[in-house]
Amino acid sequence: MPDHLFACKGDWYALPADIRGAIWDGYRSDDLSAYVGATEAARTWYAEHPPRYATREGMAQRYVRRQENNRS
């Protein structure tokens, strides 16, 4: 992912429109606190709504393992 993008296209459009709008508004207005708050909301939403590929047979294990490796 390029540094200036929050998420890949598929994950970006998976977010609800209000969260996408808040991220975009914070980014465009250069309001760091609004941007950070919106990205936190997005991360929470992603945690509660894992990507579809994470639930396919055999993929859930790899997804969980990748999450655990990122915590260290």
Quick one: pLDDT at residue 53? 58
pLDDT confidence of 71, banded at 50, 70, 90? low
pLDDT in tens, 9-55: 888 888 999 999 999 999 999 999 999 999 999 999 988 887 765 55
61 domain residue, yes or no = yes
Domain of 18, in residue numbers: 9-70
Query: Are 19 and 42 in contact, with CB atoms under 8 Å apart?
Result: yes
Quick one: pLDDT at residue 62? 43
Quick one: pLDDT at residue 60? 47
1 domain residue, yes or no = no
4 domain residue, yes or no = no
Residue 33 or residue 67, greater confidence: 33
Q: In terms of Cα–Cα distance, which of 4, 63, 60 is closest to 28?
A: 4
> Model pTM?
0.67
Query: Are 63 and 50 in contact, with CB atoms under 8 Å apart?
Result: yes
